[in-house]
Amino acid sequence: MEYNEFLKQKAIVSHSAGFDATIENKMLFDWQSDIVKWALKKGRCSIFADCGLGKTPMQLEWAQQVSDYTKKPVLILAPLAVAKQTMREGVKFGIGVTVCRTQSDVKSGVNITNYEMLQHFKPSKFSGIVLDESSILKHKDSKTRILITDEFYDTPYKLCCTATPAPNDYMELGTHSEFLGIMKQTEMLATFFLHDGGDTSKWRLKGHAESAFFAWVASWGCCMTRPQDLGYDQCGYDLPPLLVHEVIVKSDDLVDADGQIMMFASVSQTLQERRGARRNSTEMRVEAAAKIANETNEQVLVWCDLNYESDLLSKSINGAVEVKGADNTDYKAEQMERFSLGNVRALVSKPSIAGWGMNWQQCSTMIFVGLSDSFEAYYQAVRRCWRFGQKKPVNVYIVISDAEGAVKLNIERKQRDAQRMTQELIKHTSAILAGDIKATVRMTQSYFATEFMQLPTFTEETK
pLDDT single digits (tens) 321-348:
999 989 998 899 999 999 999 999 999 9
Produce one character per residue of 53-64: b if its CB has 16 or more CB atoms within 10 Å, e if not: bbbbbbbbbbbb
**What is the Cα–Cα distance from 386 to 408, expressed in whole angstroms?**
18
Other C-beta atoms lying within 10 Å of the C-beta of residue 350: 20
Element spanning 364, H or E = none
**What is the Cα–Cα distance from 132 to 63, expressed in whole angstroms?**
12
Weakest mean pLDDT among 46-55, 183-192, 206-215: 206-215
Q: Is 254 exposed, middle or buried (0-12, 13-18, 19+ CB in 10 A)?
A: middle
Residue 7 has pLDDT above 50, yes or no: no
- What pLDDT digit, counting tens, does each position of 85-127 carry? 999 999 999 999 999 999 999 999 999 999 989 999 999 999 9
| Closest residue by Cα to residue 335 from 355, 316, 349 | 349
Terminal alpha carbon distance of the chain: 41
Cβ-proximal residues to 235 (8 Å cutoff; 6+ apart), any chain: none
Q: Give the pLDDT mean for 408-416.
A: 78
**What is the Cα–Cα distance from 26 to 32, expressed in whole angstroms?**
10
Weakest mean pLDDT among 169-173, 194-198, 442-446: 442-446
CB-CB contact of 319 with 344 (8 Å): yes
Other C-beta atoms lying within 10 Å of the C-beta of residue 201: 8
| Closest residue by Cα to residue 254 from 407, 402, 408 | 402
**What is the Cα–Cα distance from 55 to 234, expressed in whole angstroms?**
16
Considering 63-67, 219-223, 350-354, 380-384, the range whose residues carry the highest mean pLDDT is 63-67
Q: Using DSSP, state whether 399 is helix, strand or coil.
A: strand
Residue 262 has pLDDT above 50, yes or no: no
* Res 367: pLDDT: 97
Q: Which domains does the chain have, with CATH numbers?
A: 11-235 (3.40.50.10810), 242-413 (3.40.50.300)
Query: Amino acid identity of 248?
Result: I
* Res 180: pLDDT: 95
- Mean of all residue pLDDT scores within the chain: 83
| Closest residue by Cα to residue 404 from 301, 276, 232 | 276
* Res 50: pLDDT: 87
Per-residue three-class SS string for 28-67:
CCHHHHHHHHHHHHHCEEEEEECCCCCHHHHHHHHHHHHH
CB-CB contact of 171 with 189 (8 Å): yes
* Res 258: pLDDT: 46
Number of helices and strands in the chain (H, E): 16, 15
| Closest residue by Cα to residue 430 from 214, 173, 162 | 214
Q: Is 330 exposed, middle or buried (0-12, 13-18, 19+ CB in 10 A)?
A: exposed
Element spanning 25, H or E = none
**What is the Cα–Cα distance from 106 to 357, expressed in whole angstroms?**
22
Weakest mean pLDDT among 26-35, 242-251, 302-311, 356-365: 242-251
Rounded to 5 degrees, what are φ and ψ at 281? -110, 15
Confidence of residue 12 (pLDDT cuts 50, 70, 90): low
- What pLDDT digit, counting tens, does each position of 123-155 carry? 999 999 999 989 877 765 567 788 899 999 999
Strands 97-99 and 110-114: parallel
**What is the Cα–Cα distance from 330 to 322, expressed in whole angstroms?**
14
Measured at the alpha carbon of residue 93, what is the angle toward residues 89 and 95, in degrees to the nearest 5?
A: 85
**What is the Cα–Cα distance from 253 to 276, expressed in whole angstroms?**
10
Q: Give the pLDDT mean for 29-37.
A: 93
Strands 157-161 and 44-49: parallel
Q: Give the pLDDT mean for 282-299.
A: 95
Confidence of residue 10 (pLDDT cuts 50, 70, 90): very low
